[in-house]
Amino acid sequence: MDIVLRFVDKQGYIRERFFDIVHVHETNSLTLKKEICDVLSRHNLSVQNIRGQGYDGASNMRGEWNGLQALFIQECPYAYYIHCFAHRLQLTLVATSQEVIPVEQFFTYLSLLINLISSSCKRVDQLRVARAARIAELIAIDELETGRGQNQIGTLKWPGTTRWGSHFSSICSLFTEYEDICSVLIDVINYGNTSTQRSEADRVYDFMTSFDFVLVMHMMRDILGFAQILYQALQCKSQDILNALKLVSVTKDRLQSYKDNGWNELFTNVKTFCDARNIEMPDMNVIYKAGRGRI
């Protein structure tokens, strides 16, 4: 368990410092409170001086009656609990997206893809080699700028439910390494050690090279990109509530504008992406029969 303190110094400035890290055998609220109080006591800090608490959204933290925040409020009524706004935003977007079937399918296959590649050191190395080769090729034909810190060769990032901005980072990695990932999947399809690996790679590849996948990938990059600015702002140490509320309002306006006016640009970007990679596009002039709900 990490303990971080935020306090006002003698000059009136808000400071935030990493204070301690504690190994806990259990994560129930009583155990966590005891460990925190022990740490504060060792440094001659009184619980009565606490004026705020901030944790993630786990029930053992936020529980109204038995959560960690409730236990501290019983001892110090001025220790007001604030659910981390950036974490709440992440949870809201993830929970909302899971209600939309194509988006839920997209993130399901994205997780399968990352697991398929990350579970093998050989495939991770193949992805890095493919990425390095493509960067060299693009630089050679002047389609990629060079410079310090550019064109880094990284790895695919897991879209974690509780990690701020992790879904956006995963999608950005997917965009950057799309062709290289496809190359690795084809290699697994042809030379995978087991039929299960080959079958799973084939299934992921088919979906990854479909119009539905590409459309949702572009759409979620745009939507989460709007939220990413708010994520980063909410994590600033010196953020104030008025500016935070203004940023929330701006983000909502941008999302509404994207919903009302963003389709043409989105479709153009998707079409350009698909045409460059020979991904089949549906005929938008055809009248399709009504079926299961789709985008």
Tens-digit pLDDT profile for residues 137-182: 766 665 555 544 444 444 555 555 545 567 888 898 899 899 999 9
- pTM value is 0.70
Q: Is the pLDDT of residue 91 over 50?
A: yes
pLDDT digits (tens, 9 = 90+) for 211-247: 999 999 999 999 988 888 887 887 776 777 788 889 8
Spatial distance between the Cα atoms of 235 and 223, rounded to a whole number of angstroms? 19
Mean pLDDT of the chain: 84
pLDDT recorded at residue 87: 67
Please list, in sequence order, all residues whose beta carbon lies within 8 angstroms of the beta carbon of residue 234, skipping any fewer than 6 positions away.
Answer: 84, 85, 86, 89, 244, 247
Q: Which of 51, 69, 67 is nearest to 59 (CA)?
A: 67
Q: Which of 41, 48, 7 is nearest to 22 (CA)?
A: 41
Q: How confident is the model at residue 3 (pLDDT cuts 50, 70, 90)?
A: very high
pLDDT digits (tens, 9 = 90+) for 28-68: 999 999 999 999 999 999 999 999 998 876 778 888 888 99
Spatial distance between the Cα atoms of 200 and 118, rounded to a whole number of angstroms? 14
Spatial distance between the Cα atoms of 268 and 27, rounded to a whole number of angstroms? 49
What the block records as the tokens of 197 is 């690996």
25 C-beta neighbours (distance < 10 Å), count: 6
